[in-house]
Structure 1
């Protein structure tokens, strides 16, 4: 008969067994009997939060995902008939547990919560904001490096204000604005301004709020930002400022999608600030009122040969002036994506001596003679071109062969070349055995993507 071990002794033994690198022994102890299982379960649940995180320990980072399980239980509890006060107390105690067992947090995300959860905390937003007032919270949040917010502003507004006082070393920030609240914009602008080493900033506005304050907050980080992504921001007018904007001395990547108001003339001073830009992505859909052509051209002219990666999708088409700016100023381009082009513009790209162009992606509208275009492209393919991505109509196997002859020079010489065809399921059916025979002859990598 097995000797019985007192529960107190068993707890001490199993706690010595635990390791932040391995929990196999603890999992085995679950199967001994009910007493061992009852003792082991609390230790396993505490384990991910009871060890100091090592930056190179990916396994421990995975274990820390249990925090999401704890939070999700709170959501389940809020949907039950428990007293609302009990729900708020439970939420606070879980936050205390996490803070007490963390040396620091480097990633924090405020997700949008369910309707019932939000209802339970309605008029008690101080319960959320008080997280940063818990003992030890300022120390834990001080080293925060990544902050993502896609939350309801009413519920989390007190939290934004405290973040401004505590978290000033954030490297990566993604902010989603989901209301017309001026107060929220003001708080988020302050949070951006106080950062000492902000490198990557994304702002997405789903309501087209007037975001002038955010523009000036962005400008305050002009010497630190390396990547800036803006989507659906609404610019009305610059607030009166006496000092000049200056240059974004570190910004390498600029991504803009459907931002209104950039066509105003006073935005040109902002466009002239991106002198070190190497990657520029601009998307303008058919739902926008006016494309900021002068703003785009000014960026191309200012960044000039520093631009190595350009993506432009402008509706209804890329204008002559914008296209000419690319040809004249961006001669060191490596990766170029231009949608809604005319066939003659495609040929101009090939004739413009882009000696460093490695990837070219383009799309042309309906009514295009794809066979004619492929044959024209074959006459002057840049030697540096490694990948070409096309969005156009049906082309024959003979036209594809002529293009490969101009691109690869000889059969079997396309081992380092790749062609990607962006097509629909219907056009995929038009590729014949002859097409694939040509592809095999020249050894070109060939992909079809929908």
Structure 2
């Protein structure tokens, strides 16, 4: 008779499958024990289904989620819905096999509102208006979560455009869920939600590690007061993400951030407003990761000039993915902080900046910058001086940038011994021939020391790398030989 692995062993094994949803789904069907262990992991963050399944299947999945949650509601909530003429079909007339809500560690009020508004749209309510019906269901579902979740790790409530009045959502249940909210470590919110939501959290949640706030125009004064209070009460805030769009700004909450000047290690700033202050970033000397995500005029962020001589002795990651400040200002940051940098992303071409990277960033492990088609020597210089480099992302194309063939040949010949990951983005039709691909893999095979390669091709929709039969034969050949550890094509 085969022996059954105990639940704790299965749980440890299944934890490695957390990002492999199809594998976890298959585990549900093995037996009751496997089902019991895997279902807890699947429901830990049920809201990420929109990013893990195909678009055409999302409506069906979201409807199953809300019907399952309704089936889990306590009897008094079901009676309240029935009394108001809200009849929502459930998967079975029997009680659910599990108390699914209790497995959740992540609660998204945004997703609850979205699913209820979209998926209950075709279910009529004779006694209530659409808004009242939706708010009633939202409140009962939120109340169930706060009562059932033993420890909540992440909470999201950002602006929504759905047919639900945010002022009719009750957050008094938060005060009854003190135990579960005490250990909340991540909060995502926006400046146009009810201040009562933030007020209730401020009374309970003092251990946030990660805080994201989206700012929009016409911010209510009360929400600013509550946000400042919430920020000031945190014991050790480590990660901060501030976004300001459509006239919003983060100016009014800057004073409350000073308490966290020594604890903050990761900062992300996102905006389309080029008049926002940035000099406050210099107040956080222990930052290890900084991202400036500017768009629609970000190149004119004048306040960025005040940061160019700031010292961040622990900085490891600098990411500027879209519109960029003046390159000379970034160069000065690299001169002062490049020694400890391990990752740089700066997708705006400037050869002088690339040479500064080669000179002042010897410990880089990951890099994404642009090289024109006449700057192969600069790439070789980076390879020669950044001997810890493990991964690089290129932008290839027939107009201005290095060709794929040049990139492959240079990587095979000059990349450091620890290099293992190559990412190529192509915005035009690829001209890479199968013999060029074969030559590259042969060269990689003969490198010393030997290291398996991860090759990731990023296509501009259907433009770019040609996955023809000959290319795939070559790729599969070297995968079988162990020369390629991972090959992936992303759109």
Specify the TM-score bucket, using the shorter chain as the normaliser.
0.5 to 0.7
Give the counterpart of 1:170 among 187, 191, 208: 208
Give the counterpart of 1:144 among 167, 184, 187: 184
Partner of 1:355: 387
Q: Is the 1:148–1:175 Cα contact (8 Å) retained in structure 2?
A: yes
Give the counterpart of 2:414 among 354, 360, 380: 380
User: Can you list the C-alpha shifts for 1:187-225, whole angstroms capped at 9, x where unaligned?
Assistant: 435433432222222223332423323455555423222
Partner of 1:31: none
Whole-angstrom distance in 2 between the partners of 1:213 and 1:139: 31
Pairwise CA distance, 1:431: 4.8
Partner of 1:279: 317
Whole-angstrom distance in 2 between the partners of 1:415 and 1:167: 47
Specify the structure having the higher radius of gyration (Cα): 1
Q: Does 1:116 align with 2:156?
A: no
Q: Does 1:61 align with 2:104?
A: yes
Pairwise CA distance, 1:332: 0.7
Q: Is the 1:263–1:293 Cα contact (8 Å) retained in structure 2?
A: no
Give the counterpart of 1:226 among 265, 269, 273: 265
Q: Is the 2:368–2:393 Cα contact (8 Å) retained in structure 1?
A: yes
Partner of 2:398: 366
Partner of 1:200: 239
**Distance change (3 Å), C-alpha of 1:324 and 1:116:** same
Whole-angstrom distance in 2 between the partners of 1:328 and 1:85: 63
User: Can you list the C-alpha shifts for 1:322-350, whole angstroms capped at 9, x where unaligned?
Assistant: 22221121111111122x32134444233
1:300 aligned counterpart, secondary structure: helix
Give the counterpart of 1:342 among 354, 367, 372: 372
Partner of 1:421: 457
Number of residue equivalences: 386
User: Can you list the C-alpha shifts for 1:70-124, whole angstroms capped at 9, x where unaligned?
Assistant: 9966995998442788987776666655555555543322154554322xx6xxx
Whole-angstrom distance in 1 between the partners of 2:269 and 2:278: 19
Whole-angstrom distance in 2 between the partners of 1:171 and 1:86: 35
**TM-score where L is the length of structure 2:** 0.62
**Distance change (3 Å), C-alpha of 1:419 and 1:79:** same
Name structure 1 gaps, 5 residues minimum.
1-20, 25-37, 54-59
Q: Does 1:326 align with 2:360?
A: no
Pairwise CA distance, 1:274: 2.9
Whole-angstrom distance in 2 between the partners of 1:262 and 1:220: 30
**Distance change (3 Å), C-alpha of 1:417 and 1:192:** same
Partner of 2:62: none
- How is 1:394-413 mapped onto 2 (pairs within 5 angstroms)? 394-404=431-441, 406-409=443-446
User: Can you list the C-alpha shifts for 1:312-370, whole angstroms capped at 9, x where unaligned?
Assistant: 222xxx223322221121111111122x3213444423334221111111113433555
Partner of 1:391: 425
Partner of 2:197: 159
2:357 aligned counterpart, secondary structure: helix
Whole-angstrom distance in 1 between the partners of 2:467 and 2:278: 56
**TM-score where L is the length of structure 1:** 0.67
Greater shift, 435-444 or 273-282, is seen at 435-444
Cα RMSD of the aligned pairs, angstroms, is 4.7
**Distance change (3 Å), C-alpha of 1:186 and 1:232:** farther
Partner of 1:82: 128
User: Can you list the C-alpha shifts for 1:247-277, whole angstroms capped at 9, x where unaligned?
Assistant: 431x322222116487425653487143311
Whole-angstrom distance in 1 between the partners of 2:284 and 2:310: 8
Q: Is the 1:274–1:303 Cα contact (8 Å) retained in structure 2?
A: yes
Name structure 2 gaps, 5 residues minimum.
1-35, 40-78, 80-91
Give the counterpart of 1:255 among 272, 286, 291: 291
